[in-house]
């Protein structure tokens, strides 16, 4: 790799390589290498194990109330080839993948080759900087994926998700503000909004305060870019 490309890739990864040849190997697909041992296949094997270790530890510490089955489902979603491919694309690592002329580059940039490159890069960071450097890179790169996977698996726990995110990233905790209530005592509706560090997020209505708080927490997660908006129903 040219020195400029190495610097650009390092900036994307947030890690300066003492041994840039590790990064070059991690970005080299077997179709480009003269010898498969000079490709990223062995590093992909190591990176997969390191990724699993760091993600498992993060889930174990972050979700102390989850049972083994919950943790296993989350881990499977987070470290899947699909997730790794998406993260490689988001980090723009795909721009630096070296593939051979006989390989469909467009397919490589969005499929299993991209996922394998991310795992190989994790191994390269580990070999160059140790486990602490690998952990820093993985947790930064996978933060959004962990939050989204938890949302998919625990759709009724938006308040817990928001609180965990705020404590880790916003140095505060969310507060729930009752904005309005309507209807007779036996059939009331409540509007609740989340307030985080003096910012009020979009409110939500429901027939119970508890459900309104969950919906308001989801609105906040959407505003923070951690969840996609709910699809709008098409009008007839």
Catalytic residues, by residue number, are 48, 119
Alpha carbon 154 to its chain's center: 16
Answer for the pair 174, 166: CB distance below 8 angstroms, yes or no. yes
User: Which helix or strand (DSSP H or E) is residue 205 part of?
Assistant: strand 204-206
Closest CA to 170 of 149, 136, 144, 196: 196
HEC assignment per residue over 79-148: CCHHHHHHHHHHCCHHHHCECCCCCCHHHHHHCHHHHHHHHHHHHHHHHHHCHHHHHHHHHHHHHHHHHH
């Amino acid at each position: 790799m040219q020195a400029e490309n190495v610097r650009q890739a390092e900036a994307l990864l947030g890690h300066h390589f003492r041994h840039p040849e590790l990064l070059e190997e991690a970005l080299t697909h077997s179709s480009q290498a003269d010898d498969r041992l000079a490709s990223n296949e062995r590093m992909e094997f190591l990176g997969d194990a390191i990724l699993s270790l760091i993600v498992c530890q993060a889930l174990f510490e972050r979700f102390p109330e989850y049972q083994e089955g919950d943790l296993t489902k989350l881990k499977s979603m987070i470290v899947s080839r699909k997730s790794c491919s998406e993260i490689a694309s988001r980090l723009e690592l795909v721009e630096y993948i070296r593939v051979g002329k006989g390989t469909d580059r467009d397919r490589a940039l969005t499929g299993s080759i991209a996922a394998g490159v991310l795992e190989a890069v994790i191994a390269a960071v580990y070999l160059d900087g140790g486990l602490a450097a690998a952990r820093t890179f993985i947790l930064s790169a996978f933060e959004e994926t962990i939050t989204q996977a938890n949302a998919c698996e625990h759709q009724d726990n938006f308040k817990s998700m928001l609180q965990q995110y705020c404590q880790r990233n916003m140095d505060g905790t969310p507060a729930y503000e009752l904005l309005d209530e309507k209807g007779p005592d036996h059939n009331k509706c409540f509007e609740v909004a989340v307030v985080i560090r003096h910012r009020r997020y979009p409110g939500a209505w429901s027939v119970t305060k508890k459900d309104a708080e969950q919906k308001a927490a989801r609105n906040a997660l959407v505003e923070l870019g951690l969840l996609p908006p709910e699809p709008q129903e098409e009008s007839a």
